Structure 1
Amino acid sequence: MSHAKTTGQKMWMTVARTAAGAAAIDLAASWCAAYYTFHNDSRKRRDPERVPSGDQYLPYRERMLELIHDLQKRPYEEVHIISDDGLRLMGRYYHQKDGAPLDIMLHGYHGTSIRDFCGGFHIAWENGHNILLVDQRAHGDSEGHTITFGVRERMDCLLWCRYAVEHFGTDCEIWLNGVSMGASTVLMASNLPLPPQVKGIIADCPYDSPRGIIRRTAGQFTIPIAFLYPLVRLGAKLFYGFDPEEASPVQSVAHTKLPILFIHGEDDRFVPIEMGKHVYDACVSEKYFFSVPGAGHCLSYLVDEEGYRNAVCAFQSKVRSSGR
């Protein structure tokens, strides 16, 4: 074997090792990025009394805890469905009266239904509705460890609607409610074959797409977003079996027929109001937008309880009067 051939072989082996090392680093980095973004360990799921820290939440902490404690005292029936991918999902059903409208409520990312709907629950209850508080997959007492930012959760929402019709009858009037990721989830479900019993959607502080909110959240790190997001998406595909760009609220509301009430705090520093307006502008169905000056993320009800209640009641009244 000639010296030149030996040198060439060594060079290609070096290139191959370098490429393999770079690929291994990319895989490791994508796993870490995806794990941080999508994984939720059941041992670390937050309890409903854990109020977010920060100056926006401090003035409303006592009122929020008061509402949470009131909700924790209320009796409920534990109900379950099985997701398309075999997860046992749990909900808390609060019965007020037979034949009453049903509100299905989906909480936010790393949230709990009792905390995130401590205000919305009371509006629905005061209006005589029955209520189903859902533990989204990988949250609370529902199975799973992967949060998909609404991609798979939207299919769970569809199944909860079908469950409601099966158990409460074809005359059941259903309203979908969501907060933060839950708001984006119900919007992403809006173009699915939902039962006709679903009359409308109330979406509080939704983001416009999983891609958009992941990229925005990634901005807090020193790694450039243009580099980090592709790693997150690659990790989602390779290790968690889904594509965060498979669905989005903007795409879904462009094909929905359901009336939608959009709610957003004007000082939301996590999901900026511009995201909510982006989804609103893309919506082709009957739509309304209620914003609350000075309200941070998921704080619109607490900042303006009367205005929030009036907006929800007026929306549902308009939808009913239209004969939908």
Structure 2
Amino acid sequence: MKGVLIALLALAVLFGLLAWFCYCLAFRRYQSKKTLTVFEESRYGGLAAAMRAGQEFYKSLRFEEVEISSFDGLRLRGRTCSAEAGKPLILLFHGWRSSDARDFGCVLEFYLAQGFGLLLVDQRAHSKSEGKVISFGINERYDCLSWARWAEERFHPPAIYLDGISMGAATVLMASGLELPGSVRGIIADCGYTSPRAILRKVIRQYHLPVGIMYFFVRLGARLFGHFDPEAASAVEAVEHCRVPVLFAHGEADGFVPCEMTRENYAHCASPKRLITVPGADHGFSYLIDRPGVEAALKRFFADTMKASPITTVAGDEGKA
């Protein structure tokens, strides 16, 4: 009997250690010793120069640091630029273990030229925001809602757009199923996944690991140490209840989040929608690969949604940027 108890205890410890390892790998706050804004030619090739230029433009901007409280008591921080009463506003949500400068540095000049104010958000457990757990959109969707409500009360903008890339795209899509403020006129989702479960299983499979076993420990780690369930929500389910227009975008050569995931989100979206895909673009690089095409799609989307009802604008279409 004693031997059985010892064996069970050892098994429980082993399960706990594996769950902790998976939790740290996927969900725990992490700050690389290497800056997120170093763009080497060896990794990014011809895009490195454009990325560095975007970073320099970001550094040249004058920001106002802002802060809100999350639904679970965290201090969430962000920064505004050129945001003022009566001016349309874009809220930008970066991806997993990334930053606003890295993910949006190259597109900010375009948005400012279109007359938008900017609110760049530090997602929970990133940069200046508090939190120790990255929940792949499960909790971040409520942060997105809080930021949108704060922005509406602070600036009274005629239009708010929610823009996200990668995990940020999943965040804004999951938020689309919530009761968004009336001034939200549209959502821009670039290379978002369908659900935390789907992307986690895809990454496990990509590393040639046993998906069923490893995902069990990933989910166990999230529940034991992160206090959330990766299966509590999904983008593909949220967009079935979406009531604002959505512009979906994805690179056709995305090696991290498959382009098919955006196609699935698009297919399930109940609101007016558009889909653009960019041939040859890897994860998060659609704008840099085809800047003219993506900018044209964004201009059309803004023109069609800025002043009209969020529920009746934008006929669905699909195509390449």
- TM-score of the alignment, normalized to the shorter chain, above 0.5: yes
Which SS does the other structure have where 1:238 is aligned?
Answer: helix
1:14 counterpart = 2:8? no
What residue in structure 1 maps to residue 300 of structure 2?
Answer: 314
The one-letter amino acid paired with 1:86 is: G
- Which consecutive residues of structure 2, in runs of 5 or more, have no partner in the other structure? 311-321
What residue in structure 2 maps to residue 123 of structure 1?
Answer: 110
Contact 1:105 1:133 in 2 (8 A): yes
What is the CA–CA distance in structure 2 between the aligned matches of 1:115 and 1:150, rounded to whole Å? Answer: 19
What is the CA–CA distance in structure 1 between the aligned matches of 2:163 and 2:83, rounded to whole Å? Answer: 18
Structure-to-structure mapping, 1:247-258, within 5 angstroms: 247-258=233-244
What is the CA–CA distance in structure 2 between the aligned matches of 1:53 and 1:228, rounded to whole Å? Answer: 34
What residue in structure 1 maps to residue 21 of structure 2?
Answer: 32
Which SS does the other structure have where 1:44 is aligned?
Answer: coil
1:90 counterpart = 2:77? yes
Structure 1 window deviating more from structure 2 (183-192 vs 212-221): it is 212-221
Deviation at 1:45, TM superposition (A): 7.2
Deviation at 1:54, TM superposition (A): 6.4
Change (3 A) 1:227 1:294: same
What is the CA–CA distance in structure 2 between the aligned matches of 1:52 and 1:208, rounded to whole Å? Answer: 30
What residue in structure 2 maps to residue 3 of structure 1?
Answer: none
Which SS does the other structure have where 2:48 is aligned?
Answer: helix
What is the CA–CA distance in structure 2 between the aligned matches of 1:52 and 1:222, rounded to whole Å? Answer: 28
What is the CA–CA distance in structure 1 between the aligned matches of 2:122 and 2:36, rounded to whole Å? Answer: 12
Change (3 A) 1:141 1:231: same
Which SS does the other structure have where 2:241 is aligned?
Answer: coil
What residue in structure 2 maps to residue 287 of structure 1?
Answer: 273
What residue in structure 2 maps to residue 51 of structure 1?
Answer: 39
For each residue in 1:115-139, what CA deviation from the matched residue of structure 2 results, as whole angstroms up to 9, or x when unmatched?
A: 1012332221110000001010111
State TM-score, norm by structure 2.
Answer: 0.92
1:143 counterpart = 2:133? no
State TM-score, norm by structure 1.
Answer: 0.91
Match of 1:245 among 227, 231, 242: 231
Larger Rg: 1
Deviation at 1:321, TM superposition (A): 5.9
Structure-to-structure mapping, 1:135-174, within 5 angstroms: 135-169=122-156, 171-174=157-160
The one-letter amino acid paired with 2:66 is: V
- Which consecutive residues of structure 1, in runs of 5 or more, have no partner in the other structure? 1-11
What is the CA–CA distance in structure 1 between the aligned matches of 2:103 and 2:192, rounded to whole Å? Answer: 13
Which SS does the other structure have where 2:306 is aligned?
Answer: helix
Change (3 A) 1:320 1:60: same
Match of 1:113 among 90, 100, 103: 100
Which SS does the other structure have where 1:147 is aligned?
Answer: coil
Contact 2:78 2:122 in 1 (8 A): yes
Change (3 A) 1:196 1:54: farther
Equivalenced residue count is 310
For each residue in 1:197-239, what CA deviation from the matched residue of structure 2 results, as whole angstroms up to 9, or x when unmatched?
A: 1111000000110011111112244531110001010111111
Percent identity between the aligned chains? 41
Change (3 A) 1:96 1:322: closer
Query: Cα RMSD (Å) of the superposition?
Result: 1.7
What residue in structure 2 maps to residue 70 of structure 1?
Answer: 57
The one-letter amino acid paired with 1:89 is: L
Deviation at 1:84, TM superposition (A): 1.2
The one-letter amino acid paired with 2:288 is: L
For each residue in 1:61-91, what CA deviation from the matched residue of structure 2 results, as whole angstroms up to 9, or x when unmatched?
A: 1111101111111101000011111111111
Match of 2:48 among 44, 58, 61: 61
What residue in structure 2 maps to residue 266 of structure 1?
Answer: 252
Deviation at 1:51, TM superposition (A): 3.5
What is the CA–CA distance in structure 2 between the aligned matches of 1:173 and 1:229, rounded to whole Å? Answer: 40
Structure-to-structure mapping, 1:200-211, within 5 angstroms: 200-211=186-197
What residue in structure 2 maps to residue 303 of structure 1?
Answer: 289
